[in-house]
Structure 1
Amino acid sequence: MDSFITIRFKRQTAKRFQQFSKKHFKSHTEAMATMLDFFFYNEISPRERLGPTGRTIEANLKKRINAVIAIMKDMEKTQTKPTVAMIESLFQIDTPQKKPLILEKKFTEEKKEVRFQEKRNSNNKL
């Protein structure tokens, strides 16, 4: 069995370490060894900042995604829909209506109406 040694910590720091250790590890020794190994293997100092947290990265990503969505919607309104409409209008097969020429007369549609008629007298019989 390994022997123990005492290390002096301030009471508040020792309480925080005990709470952390009980939550994540079986013993205080295992907690301390794991933390020291983490800093040694990753070659970082405990005083270094590792950069932005997950929440700030997520917020930045959401902003960028919203900006990309806005750009896509604008492109759809200004470029895609009008272009598709023009292409569809080119490919529509629509039979043109046959319009009669201006000089052409249609005799079938014209009705010959008599505007004046001779009046027949019953007195003047021939």
Structure 2
Amino acid sequence: MDSFIGIRFKKETAKRFQSFSRTYFKSHTEAMSTMLDFFFYNEISPKEKLGPTGRTIEAKLLKRINAVIAIMRDVEKTQTKPTVAMIQSLFETKEPTKKPLIVEKKYAEQKPKVSFQEKQNQNNEL
């Protein structure tokens, strides 16, 4: 069995470490060893800040997602809906209105216009 050594800590720090150690580890020695290994293997100092926390990253992601949603809505309003409307109008089937053909006068059939017609009297024929 390994021997123990006493290290002096302030009372508040010792209580914080004991509660942390009991929560995550079986013994205080295992907790301290794991923390030291973490700093050694990751080559970081305990005094360094590791960067943004999960909450700040989440907040930034939500802002970016909201910005993307706003961009998509704008694209839908200004580009997609008008384009769909134009394409639908192209594919609608309407019978075109029949317009009379325009033919040059010399090729058009000229029918003589009759201004007066004689009435045939049925009494005269009998």
Q: Whole-Å Cα distance in 2 between the matches of residues 4 and 16 of structure 1?
A: 20
For normalisation by structure 2, the TM-score amounts to 0.76
Deviation at 1:97, TM superposition (A): 4.0
Q: Whole-Å Cα distance in 2 between the matches of residues 23 and 35 of structure 1?
A: 14
- SS state of the match for residue 8, structure 1? coil
- SS state of the match for residue 59, structure 2? helix
Q: Which amino acid aligns with 2:13?
A: T
Q: Structure 2 regions of 5+ residues with no counterpart?
A: 101-126
Q: Whole-Å Cα distance in 1 between the matches of residues 32 and 54 of structure 2?
A: 25
Q: Whole-Å Cα distance in 1 between the matches of residues 81 and 11 of structure 2?
A: 69
Q: Whole-Å Cα distance in 1 between the matches of residues 99 and 38 of structure 2?
A: 88
- Within-5 A mapping of 1:1-126: 1-98=1-98
Q: Structure 1 regions of 5+ residues with no counterpart?
A: 101-126
Q: Whole-Å Cα distance in 2 between the matches of residues 75 and 23 of structure 1?
A: 51
Q: Whole-Å Cα distance in 2 between the matches of residues 44 and 70 of structure 1?
A: 40
Cα deviation per residue 1:13-72 (whole Å; 9 max; x = unaligned)?
A: 001100000111000000000000000000000000000000000000000100110110
For normalisation by structure 1, the TM-score amounts to 0.76
Q: Whole-Å Cα distance in 2 between the matches of residues 87 and 9 of structure 1?
A: 77
Deviation at 1:98, TM superposition (A): 4.3
Q: Which amino acid aligns with 2:54?
A: G
Moved over 3 A (4+): 97-100
Q: Whole-Å Cα distance in 2 between the matches of residues 99 and 41 of structure 1?
A: 87
Q: Whole-Å Cα distance in 2 between the matches of residues 87 and 18 of structure 1?
A: 71
Q: Whole-Å Cα distance in 2 between the matches of residues 13 and 75 of structure 1?
A: 56
Q: Whole-Å Cα distance in 1 between the matches of residues 23 and 65 of structure 2?
A: 37
